Structure formats: C-alpha cells, structure tokens
Amino acid sequence: MELQWFGRTCVRLKGRDAVVVADAFQAVVGPTGRGITGDIVTFSHPDDDPLPHAKGVATRDGGIHLPSSLEQAFVLEGPGEYEFKRVLITGVRTFRDDKHGADRGRNVAFAVELDGIRIAHLGDIAHVLTEEKIGEIGPVDVACVPIGGQLSATRAAEIVAQLDPKIVVPMPVCEAERDCDEALAKFLHEMGATDATPQPKLTITPGSVPDETTTVLLESRGKV
C-alpha cells in the first residue's frame, strides 16, 4: 500500500486492487483534481472553502464539490460499513468540535482496509474518542491525524494513544504556515519523534509494519 499526502486532510491510498482518495476538496486539489484519480473517494465533512468558480461542477450532498478527475469514483460521505472493489471501509460518526458538532458540525472518520493494512483517516476531528468510537474504528496500523486547527497537539497525541497505531501520519491543517510549523513541532515533541525528515510517500506492507509507534512526515504533493 502506498500513501501520499496532498495537503490539509487530503491523502491518496493506492492498493493492488483499488485507489482510495480521502478529502479531495477543490480548495486543496483544484476543480480538476490536479490529475488525482481514484476508485473510491471519502469526504469527512463538507467543503469549508469551495473555489469561487465551483458552480456548475459535480457536487454531492453536504456542499461538496467533486473534482472532475474523480467524478466517476464511488463516493462515501457518511457513517456505515461499505465494500467496493474488495476494499472494506467503515465510516464512524465524529465531530469537528468538542460539543457534538454544535459549533462546527459533524465529521466522519474512515477506517480503510487495503492490502492487509488498516488505515484510519480521521478527517477534521476535534475531540478525543469515546470507547465506543475506538471500538467502531477498530485496530489501526496507520493513523492519519489532523494537526493544528481545532485539534491541539496534545489532544492529537491523546487520540494516537487511544488508537495505538504502528504508524502516525500528521496532516497539518492550519491556515498560516507558521502556525502549522508550531503545531507540528509540538506534536512531534509529544510523540517523542526525533528524526522527522519529510518523505514523498509512505510505502508499507503487512511485513514492514514497525513494532513501535512511528511518526512519518510526508511532503505535500498538492496546493495547500
């Protein structure tokens, strides 16, 4: 399985049988998707910042504008259990604030089973998990966690401790680059990550999963 990060909470998971793209918002990848293709697209929340010229393009319920390169993909944007092209996906209801969505609305965390690897993409989550939610997400090999924004570095580290993944991929989501740098530095400190050199992609197989939790920084392949 190969994982690439395109900015904010947008990642692409490439497996043998299918490609899953998470949070390919036009505000991140543009109206054409910058050539990003995939069989399955998941959206954790509505697009907060649609492009001014987004009218007239494909849309989904909830105010999501779908990039043209992904118009034929199987789109998921709600909780539930799904299977498509031999990929198992579980959507778990979470929230974008710590008030059950009262301020910023709902979020969906997606657990994806691809090539024997289970990836938890937490979207724009802004709270620690209940025991019920931890159970719904299930065992995790790779956790993609938003850093900055509504989720502090300390809370992000708490979520990592709750899920106990073997690999953590931080996804900086701050508006200002300086704020993201500070939030990321705090998170790396919380995780005890001393060697955090950004990589272009993460490639992992069931046999290469590390024994201890490892933080992997990825280079953004899209515009932020």
- 224 lies in some domain: no
- 222 lies in some domain: no
- 220 lies in some domain: no
- 124 lies in some domain: yes
The first and second tokens of residue 44, run together, are 């954790």
The first and second tokens of residue 81, run together, are 């259990």
- Whose CA is closest to 161, among 180, 182, 135, 134? 134
pLDDT at 138: 98
- 80 lies in some domain: yes
Tell me the pLDDT tens digit for each residue of 183-213.
999 999 999 987 778 999 999 999 999 999 9
Domain range spanning residue 88? 2-215
Pairing of strands 167-172, 142-147: parallel
Number of structural domains (the chain) is 1
pLDDT at 196: 78
- 83 lies in some domain: yes
pLDDT at 64: 81
CATH classification of the domain holding 41: 3.60.15.10
The list of the chain residues with pLDDT below 70 reads 50-63, 223-224
pLDDT at 175: 79
Sign of CA dihedral 88, 37, 33, 175: positive
pLDDT at 53: 52
- 221 lies in some domain: no
pLDDT at 58: 58
Sign of CA dihedral 26, 28, 32, 36: negative
